[in-house]
């Protein structure tokens, strides 16, 4: 009996090593892993757009809006705010908390243009979403929020 149990353990170990090997091979073959880098990184190349965004867009300091309401909210309600008031929450390399990812606590450039790590590395325009549509805004600017705050996407108004 002991010999049979030992044989099963060896078999399980062999299968585990096989799956790890396959997963590592696939991951190693992705040449362009993407992550959120924060709006400040964009400033070097897109100075004008960055300043306009910081001066006129409420998104640039959106975390303060939820932070002031934190006192009257439950933890779940407060985390629910992160989905639209921070950058990349619940996504790989996105916002996790104000303490861990302070550069992503406001809704920055990557909320609309997507993760910018690859674009930063290559400098290629094709590595980031350049032209946007209104559907990209609907993620947060839903009809419910438009009704509550009367917010309108500034995509057609030249936000930056």
Partner 1 sequence: MINWIHELQKRTSLRAKILVATIVVVAGFTGVFLYQTVSFHTESALNQVAESSQGLLKNTYSAIKYPMSVGDSKTVEKQLKDIKDHMEGVEVYISDFQQVLHYASEEDRIHTSIIHYLWEKETQRALADALGTGLSPNQSFTEIRNDEAFLVTIKPLLNERPCHHCHGASKKVLGAMVVKHPVKEVYASLAAARNRLIIFSVVEIIGIILVINFLFNRLVTRRIKTLAEKTGQVSAGDITVEVHDDSQDSIGKLSQNFDQMIRNIRDRMEYANSLKLGISEPFFMVDPDMKLTYMNDAAAKLSGVRSENVLGKKTCEEVFKSDMCHTGCPVKKAMETGEATVGHRVTTKNAEGKEVPIMASGAALRDSAGKILGGFEVLRDISKEVEAESVLRDSYLKEEEAKKNLQHRVESLSDILRGVAGGDFTVKAEMSGENDAMDQLVQRTNETLDHMEELIGQTKRAALTVVMGVRHISEGNQELSQRTQQQAATVEETSATVEQLVSNINQNATNTQRADSLSKEAVAVAMEGGDTVEKTAQAMNGMSESSRKIVEMMDLINEITFQTNLLSINAAVEAARAGEQGRGFAVVANEVRNLAKRSSEASKDIQNLVRDIMDQVNTGKEWVAQLENGFKKIVQTIKQVSDALSEVSLATREGSRGVEQIGQAVDEMGGVIEHNASLVDELAGATEQLNEKAGLLQSMTDKFKLGDQGDMEVEELNFKKSYQVQKKDRRGTEPPTIKPLRDELATQHPIEDKPDDLIEKELDEGFEEF
Count of residues for the chain? 160
Q: How far is the CB of 121 from partner 1 (least distance, A)?
A: 38
**What is the C-alpha separation between 75 and 101, in angstroms, rounded?**
18
Q: For partner 1, which is the closer residue by CB, 25 or 143? A: 143
Identify the residue whose tokens are 């909320």: 111
What φ, ψ does residue 115 adopt, rounded to 5°? Answer: -55, 135
Q: CB–CB of 73/67 below 8 Å?
A: no
Q: How far is the CB of 138 from partner 1 (least distance, A)?
A: 16
Q: How far is the CB of 11 from partner 1 (least distance, A)?
A: 51
Q: For partner 1, which is the closer residue by CB, 36 or 82? A: 82
Q: For partner 1, which is the closer residue by CB, 37 or 81? A: 81
Q: Taking each helix axis from N to C terminus, what angle separates 62-69 and 75-85, rounded to the nearest 10 degrees?
A: 170
Q: How far is the CB of 114 from partner 1 (least distance, A)?
A: 26
Q: For partner 1, which is the closer residue by CB, 44 or 150? A: 150
Count CB atoms within 10 A of the CB of residue 85: 24
* Contacting residues toward partner 1, per CB under 8 A: 65, 69, 72-74, 77, 80, 144-145, 147-150
């Amino acid at each position: 009996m002991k010999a049979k149990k030992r044989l099963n353990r060896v078999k399980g170990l062999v299968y585990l090593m096989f799956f790890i090997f396959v997963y590592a091979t696939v991951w190693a073959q992705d040449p362009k892993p993407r992550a959120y880098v924060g709006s400040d990184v964009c400033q070097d190349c897109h100075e004008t757009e960055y300043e306009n965004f910081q001066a006129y867009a409420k998104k640039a300091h959106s975390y303060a809006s939820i932070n002031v309401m934190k006192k009257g909210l439950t933890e779940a309600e407060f985390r629910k705010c992160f989905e639209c008031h921070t950058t990349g929450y619940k996504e790989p390399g996105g916002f996790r908390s104000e303490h861990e990812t302070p550069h992503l606590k406001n809704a920055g450039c990557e909320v609309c243009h997507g993760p910018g790590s690859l674009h930063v590395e290559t400098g290629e325009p094709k590595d980031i979403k350049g032209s946007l549509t209104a559907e990209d805004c609907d993620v947060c600017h839903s009809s419910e929020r438009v009704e509550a705050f009367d917010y309108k996407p500034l995509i057609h108004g030249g936000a930056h």
